Amino acid sequence: MKRMIGTLLLVLAGLLGAAPAAHAVTPTEVVVEDTAGVLDQATLLPAVEAIDFYEPTKVAIYTYNGSASASLNEEVLRFARAEHPEWLSADGQKWADGLFIFALDPVGRWVGTYMGEDRKIPLEQREDIQETTKELFRDAQWTDGTIAGIERGAELINRP
């Protein structure tokens, strides 16, 4: 009986060991639109380009100087329509598949995360990404906070 249980455990371990591993892939592209002029691109780009996602993902980073009363959501959509229509789906109603946008308004103190339908995560996880950045952003560490937010996003988006 012990031998049979041991054999079953070995078979089970073999089956579990044969499962495909999750693939870690760096971003397919990193686009930085730092219109607020707050990011150190010499630090930002190598750090973001080295972040592993579960699936090929294009990362877009957008900063602008807004205000506490401005709508970051509306501004990111306006900017995408005017400057990066490829960030939108063919019908212009959703974000493009394979895309993760990290947006920051250092003046209004807003941070936003946007993603294509195939990368979408629940609202509480998007809030978790944003929460990861807040302590760094309170200290005006815009580059480090952006990197931290994108790293957290990579951990959550399409997690196996």
pLDDT at 14 over 60: no
Of 47, 35, 12, 30, which is closest to residue 145 (Cα–Cα)?
47
Measure the CA angle with vertex 132, ends 93 and 75; round to 5°.
30
Instruction: State if pTM tops 0.95.
Output: no
Got the DSSP string for the chain? -HHHHHHHHHHHHHHHHTSPPPPPB--SEEEEEETT----HHHHHHHHHT--BSS--EEEEEE----TTS-HHHHHHHHHHHH-GGGB-TTSSSBPTTEEEEEEETTTTEEEEEE-GGG---HHHHHHHHHHHHHHHHTT-HHHHHHHHHHHHHHHTT--
| Confidence at 11, pLDDT banded by 50, 70, 90 | very low
* Structure confidence at residue 2 (pLDDT): 52
Q: Which of 110, 149, 147, 93 is nearest to 126 (CA)?
A: 149
CATH number of 23-156: 3.10.310.50
Residue-wise pLDDT for 85-134, tens only, equals 999 999 999 999 999 999 999 999 999 999 999 999 999 999 999 999 99
- Is residue 1 over pLDDT 80? no
Dihedral (CA of 38, 41, 43, 44) sign: positive
Instruction: Give the type of residue at 134.
Output: K
Give tens-digit pLDDT for 24-65: 899 999 999 999 999 999 999 999 999 999 999 999 999 999
Ordered by start, the domain boundaries in the chain are 23-156
141-156 pLDDT, tens per residue? 999 999 999 999 999 9
pLDDT of residue 22: 52
